[in-house]
Each structure stands twice: as structure tokens, then as C-alpha cells.
Structure 1
Amino acid sequence: MINKIIKRNIENKSIVWFQDNNEYLVVAPLVAEILSLLNQNVDKQEITTQITKQIDITYKEAFALVIDIETLLISSKETNSKSKLLTVIKPTSFASIKYYKIKDLILEVKYASDIEISLIHPKFAHLETEETKNINHKFEVFSNDNAISFSVDDIIIDTWSLKEIHYFQGKFSMELVQKIHQKDENQWMGVFHASAASNGTNTILCLGDSGNGKSTSLALLQASNFTCLADDFVPIDTSLNVHSFPSAISIKKNSLETLLPLYPELKMSAEYHFKRLNKVVRYLPTNNHNYSLKCPCKALIFIKYQENSDLIINKISNITAFEQLVPDSWLSPLPQNVKIFLNWFEKLPCYQLTYSNNKKMISTVSKIFTDEL
């Protein structure tokens, strides 16, 4: 067998998952069928004969199609693993040590320099504590001119090129969420680049490209008595519950005028300049304080703020939503969790929401929560 695959038909397409590189592909059902047959080592000539009975093409054309599709299985084995030559020597002393309290957890994080602090601390600054006894876990973050590493409880987790800073930040958050909720990585279905608002019973995930307004929408929903479960990093376990994540909501500079009347504390909050991302942000602590809340996901909303736009809400196909969701997500590489994810996603309502009026947006999201839409 060349590769292990899982396939699922959704709407008029097929989603195929390749185990070797944990990659998903949306293809026509015929392509998925051929992939499955190839994966079962069915003879290519036999597959070709089956194709000619299903579609009106010549045997030669069908055989060429099978060969082309076979390359998908082979190429899926070619992973983009980073060089294992990357090493960062752990320093003998650290520039800063900070302590964070999350629920009953006390976390010590040692930063080698201001560079590492800037990558992690701003979004967790509201959790900083002076309690330094009974530390539950110790994180250490250190880098050189080429790479960055971090350890958890004196065990090196990994090392990344400085071009892969977002992978480091994602792994840091993953280690943190495992400690908070006492779940191993294999107990998580996935982590989504989204904003999660809850009514206490269910959760709605707001998604969209950077700058579309998902974090601002979350802050507006929070001001309307919804609970912020997570911003940017939304973990969902294999029981299909969205869990709390304690980072603050990132507020871009162009959202301040809208949010200052609701959150006057933003006026005095620290401003952070992220040159690599070309953005200036402030951080708004969430109204979720014990981080124990977890709720199932009610729907996905691909949200976009567009000046002077009428409110437009449309249900979209799950395939369209899937193609937007997956590239920015971490999804479990375990086959049993892949099946859980596909079962979950297939039944999930997905919407596209464009708005300029904040009250109408809040009202529309409320109606999705209460099945009034």
C-alpha cells in the first residue's frame, strides 16, 4: 500500500485525507474512487477498464488519468519536514521570567530576550501574577539568529526556523492548552484560526482572512453579553466541545474608534507593533475568567466587515467552507480523529456574513444561536 487514505463524499465532491502528510484534498468523486482503488493495490488496467464503463473516454485517455491520479498518492508521501540541523543552545540565564495564573494553574515562562517576549507575552499579559510558589509547569523560550526553541518542564519540544515563527507560536499554544485542560494532543480533533463566541450553551466560530473583522466582531459580541471562548486559536476536542483558550482578543488600530465607547480601557492599553505582520494591535482581556467553559459548535460564520454594505447572510456549501477552513487549521493526524472531524464537519451549518451595521450583525448571530434565521 502506497499510503493510507480516508475519503468522504460531501455534497457533489469528495474529501480525501492522506495519512502520510496529514493533508486533505477536495476532488471529484471519480478521482476519489480511483485513489481508493489504487490505495488497495487494484491493478491499474482493471481500474482503467472500470473508468471506461463510467465515462465516455478512450482506454488510452482513461489509463493516462489513472497514472496522473497515482501521482497524488506518491506526492502525498513527500512531506515538507524542516531541516533537523536546526539547533539552539539553551542559555545559562534568561532575560526575563514571567508567571501566569490560568484557573488554578501557575505557569512559569522564561524568555531569553525581548524578541521571545514579544512573540508570546502581549496576548497573555492580563494573566500575569506575582504568585511564584507551587508552580505547575515551566516553559523556556530561546532563540539565535536562525532558529527558535522552547522546552516544557525541561524537555525540548522542538526547534523552528525563524521563518516558521507561526509554527512555534502554534505549538506553544498547543502545549499550553493541553496543560490547562489536562488533555494530551491525541485528544484534540483540531485547532482553528477563528474567533469563538458562546451563549453558555453553544458556540459559534467566526472565521475570515486577516483584516476581515473577526476579532472586532468577537469584541462586539462580548459587549453584548456573549462569552469569548477563544480568539485566533480555537481548540476543539474529540468530544466535539470548543474549549476556552486564555489569550486576549487582538484589536487592530482601525477598530479602536468602534470599540473605545464599549471598552474605554483600550485607550490606555499598550500598543504593539508587529513589523513582520505589518500590523499594530492592542489586547483586550476576555470576559471568560475561569477558562473552564466548553460548548459544542453551533455553526461556522465566515465574517466580513465591509463599509456601507447592507447586511448579507447566506448559507454556503460545506465544501466551500471546508476549502477556506482547512488551510489555516491544525487537524489531528490520527485516523480515528480524522473520521471524527469529517463526521462533525459534514453536519455543520456554514454561513457567509457581510455587514457594516454592528447591531444588525449582533442580531443576526443571535438568531443563529436560537435557530431563528
Structure 2
Amino acid sequence: MQNILFVKKKVGESYLIWFQNSNLFFYLQEPAWYVFNRIVNRHKVETIAEKFAARYSVSYDESLTFVTDIRKKAEEMNLPFSGKRYFETHKKEIIQHSFKPYSEHCYSMFNKVVKFSFETLELERFIHPMAEHLKAEHPPEAKFLFELFTHNGTIILRVNNVLKGSWTKNESEFVKGRVFVELINILHNKTEADWLMTVHASAISNGKKTILFSASPGSGKTTFAALLKANGYQIISDDFVPIEQNSFNAYPLPLAMSVKEGSVDLLKNYFPELKTAPSVDMGPKKKVRYLPVGNEIIEMTFPVNEFIFIKYDKTVDFRLEKIEPVEALKTLLDEAWIPASPKNIEVFLEKILNISYYSLTYSDNQKALNAITGLFNND
């Protein structure tokens, strides 16, 4: 079996395992941890099964099945994702590959001009609709060139002729995230090592601190963020939030927020520009309009103090509950990307367990807004 490089953290009664090769997390409890700990120390499966059977008073056959399953899962979690394997085996071909762009656009972000070249309309949709308001009509020569194209069906990101990522069609949800990471590095003069993590969330600030709002798609995150903006709060970043390792500050990315058609009637009262904003088809039964968030000031960085998992539910008037970090972490890991270095993972696991987490379920907008105002004022 291939050597497994990992970092572990005891969280409550569980062990949180990070696999370096795949940059994936996995929770283990006893007796699975007992087995995993011996597998990574290269004990024979049969030997582990014998000791497991005696330790937990089960038959050898049951023990062997359990140990084999844990070993199989560990091997799966240790695999690099398929796009990375393609990247490594076709590197020379991809570097030399040329393509005819479907479109090319230059965007002005924080006084820097970034050019994008998209091979297809589908690839253009990853970025252009949310950056269109930043388009520079007569820009100076761009120093940064982002190219999105396909090679044998695999999606490729190339920045200034350096390969930055590759993904199969089944991994296409990771494309935007990688593009955003490369963008924030350029815009904020950072490297990947400077970031603790990026989160699928809305970062909202009162000018002193930042609260992150995260949710699964369709749960009302963007709508609520827009309502907070209408009530005087500042959106630092919507949908993609980079957090610096040392300061724990959330940094701005000046892309527009996507407002689903179902929220337009509510929000157009606060943002009249939504009435005339074009409706963009983003897939089956998914149309959105884009609303610039006005975060084009690069100095807008404030520390993250709270993390709120938000859900709109018409059957619930209002409910705000504090969550233990152990439970919150399980949800957060589904919404976060953490740079894959053992040092960063150790810092992440230390810091992320020391902030406050809440669950907000609501249908009454005013009650929810009042509660968040209370959190902002509670310094």
C-alpha cells in the first residue's frame, strides 16, 4: 500500500484526519481509529484483524471484514483527484497546447488588469457573468493572462502559461475555486501559503469585524447578504471568501453576487438595477441576475469572529442557535478549501475551533436582521 501522509486532530470523541495526497478530510471514531492507526503504520491486515477480534470480542471473520473496509477507505482517501493525475501525465502537451478562443475579456480589479481567454461558452460562464461589470473596454496591456480550455475532454487552467489546474467534467465545480485562488493571489500580492482557507460563504462586515454566512445552494445565503447590504452593512466578498492565515481576516474579491429569479421581487425594492439586469441561464431551471456588491476597495479586510450556517424555511419564523465547534466543523469542511500543506492544516485546526458558530433558520427577515445586528454589536 502507498505511504499515507496525514495530519490528525482529536475533536471531541472523534479523530479528524487530513490526507495530504487528496487534501480531503475524514472523521474516525473508535474502533475505526484503532484500525486506521495500525494500517498507516504498515501492520499486516491479518495481524490487525486478530488483535481487533480479541480487543472488541468479535469473530475473526467480522474483524477481517471491518479492517479490510477501513484499509480500502484509507486507500481511496489517499488518492490524488483524477484531474491532478491527468495534469501530471500530460504536462508537456498541455503547456504547448493552443486553442481558438470563443471569447476574450479584460477586467480591471483593484487597479490591476487581468485578461481571460475562454475556449467555449460553457467555460466563459464560469467567470464572465460575475465579472462583466469590471470589464475594461480600452485597457492597457494586461500583465496576467488566464486561459480556460479543454484537452482531451479535461478542463485546464493556465495562468501566464503556467499550469494551475486540471479537472474532469465530473470535477467542474472546482474550476471556479481554483480560478478565484489564482485571482486573489494576484490582486492581494499573496501566495497560496498565505491563505488559511477559502470558504463558500458571504462575508459581511460592519467595519470592525466580519461574520461569514454559509449555506447549501438555494438556502437564501445571497438573498440575506443583499438584505444586510441594504441595511448598511458591507459585503466583503460573496460566494467565495479567502481568509488569511496570520490575521484571520477575510479579503475582498470584487465579483458580482448571483441573485436567483425567485429573490428578484424582494430585492428589487432595495436594488432597482435588478429590474433591468439581464437574466442569465446558468443551467437547467437555474436563471440568475448579477448584482455588483461595491467592494472594490482593497483595504476592506476585517477579522472573522462568527460563522453562521443559514437556511430560509417558510415553516420557521425565526431560530438562532449556537453550535459547538465540533459539530460545526463537519459542515464547514463541506464548504471550505484548505491549502494542502501540513503546517497550514495544523493552524487551520487550531484556529477554526476557537470561533463562534451559529445556525440561523428563518422566514421573518426583520427578526433575522435584528439578531445579526445584535451579533455585530456584541464586540
Q: Common fold, TM-score beyond 0.5?
A: yes
Conservation of the 8 A alpha-carbon contact between 1:7 and 1:32: no
CA offset digits 1:159-201 (Å, max 9, x no partner): 4334433222222112111111111122222221111111222
1:368 to 352, 355, 375: 375
Q: Secondary structure at the match of 1:74?
A: helix
Conservation of the 8 A alpha-carbon contact between 2:82 and 2:168: no
Conservation of the 8 A alpha-carbon contact between 2:202 and 2:213: yes
Taking a change above 3 Å as real, the CA distance of residues 48 and 157 of structure 1, as seen in their structure-2 partners, is closer
Partner of 1:254: 262
Say how many residue pairs are matched: 369
Residue range with higher mean Cα deviation, 211-220 or 72-81: 72-81
CA drift at 1:301: 0.9
- Equivalent-residue separation in structure 2 for 1:142 and 1:60 (angstroms): 52
Conservation of the 8 A alpha-carbon contact between 1:229 and 1:243: yes
Residue range with higher mean Cα deviation, 250-259 or 161-170: 161-170
2:342 to 311, 328, 335: 335
- Equivalent-residue separation in structure 1 for 2:238 and 2:328 (angstroms): 19
1:218 to 225, 235, 240: 225
- Equivalent-residue separation in structure 2 for 1:27 and 1:212 (angstroms): 29
Structure 2 runs not aligned, ≥5 long: none
Taking a change above 3 Å as real, the CA distance of residues 254 and 216 of structure 1, as seen in their structure-2 partners, is same
Identity of matched residues, %: 27
Correspondence 1:162-201 to 2 at 5 A: 162-201=169-208
Conservation of the 8 A alpha-carbon contact between 1:190 and 1:237: yes
Taking a change above 3 Å as real, the CA distance of residues 156 and 18 of structure 1, as seen in their structure-2 partners, is closer
The runs of at least 4 aligned residues of structure 1 exceeding 6 Å deviation read: 42-53, 85-88
Q: Secondary structure at the match of 1:313?
A: strand
CA drift at 1:319: 3.1
Partner of 1:231: 238
Taking a change above 3 Å as real, the CA distance of residues 165 and 5 of structure 1, as seen in their structure-2 partners, is closer
CA drift at 1:138: 1.8
CA drift at 1:280: 0.6
Residue range with higher mean Cα deviation, 27-36 or 37-46: 37-46
- Equivalent-residue separation in structure 1 for 2:250 and 2:34 (angstroms): 33
- Equivalent-residue separation in structure 2 for 1:146 and 1:207 (angstroms): 32
Conservation of the 8 A alpha-carbon contact between 2:49 and 2:63: yes
Conservation of the 8 A alpha-carbon contact between 2:8 and 2:16: yes
Residue range with higher mean Cα deviation, 329-338 or 55-64: 55-64
- TM-score, with length taken from structure 2: 0.86
Residue range with higher mean Cα deviation, 33-42 or 316-325: 33-42
Taking a change above 3 Å as real, the CA distance of residues 50 and 161 of structure 1, as seen in their structure-2 partners, is closer
- Equivalent-residue separation in structure 2 for 1:7 and 1:50 (angstroms): 23
Taking a change above 3 Å as real, the CA distance of residues 12 and 77 of structure 1, as seen in their structure-2 partners, is closer
CA offset digits 1:310-336 (Å, max 9, x no partner): 110111232332222213322221100
CA drift at 1:210: 0.6
CA drift at 1:130: 2.9
CA drift at 1:249: 0.9
Correspondence 1:138-157 to 2 at 5 A: 138-143=145-150, 146-157=153-164
2:308 matches 1:301 = yes
Correspondence 1:89-128 to 2 at 5 A: 89-91=97-99, 93-128=100-135
Partner of 1:7: 8
Correspondence 1:197-212 to 2 at 5 A: 197-212=204-219
Conservation of the 8 A alpha-carbon contact between 1:8 and 1:14: yes
2:283 matches 1:275 = yes
CA drift at 1:52: 8.1
- One-letter identity of the residue aligned with 1:250: S
Taking a change above 3 Å as real, the CA distance of residues 275 and 178 of structure 1, as seen in their structure-2 partners, is same
Residue range with higher mean Cα deviation, 148-157 or 117-126: 148-157
Taking a change above 3 Å as real, the CA distance of residues 74 and 110 of structure 1, as seen in their structure-2 partners, is closer
Taking a change above 3 Å as real, the CA distance of residues 57 and 162 of structure 1, as seen in their structure-2 partners, is closer
- TM-score, with length taken from structure 1: 0.88
When the two chains are superposed, the root-mean-square deviation of aligned CA atoms in Å is 2.9
CA offset digits 1:63-109 (Å, max 9, x no partner): 54555544443333334323627877422x53433221111211122
2:333 to 323, 326, 351: 326
CA drift at 1:341: 1.1
Conservation of the 8 A alpha-carbon contact between 1:107 and 1:136: yes
Conservation of the 8 A alpha-carbon contact between 1:248 and 1:285: yes
Q: Secondary structure at the match of 1:300?
A: strand
CA drift at 1:351: 1.1
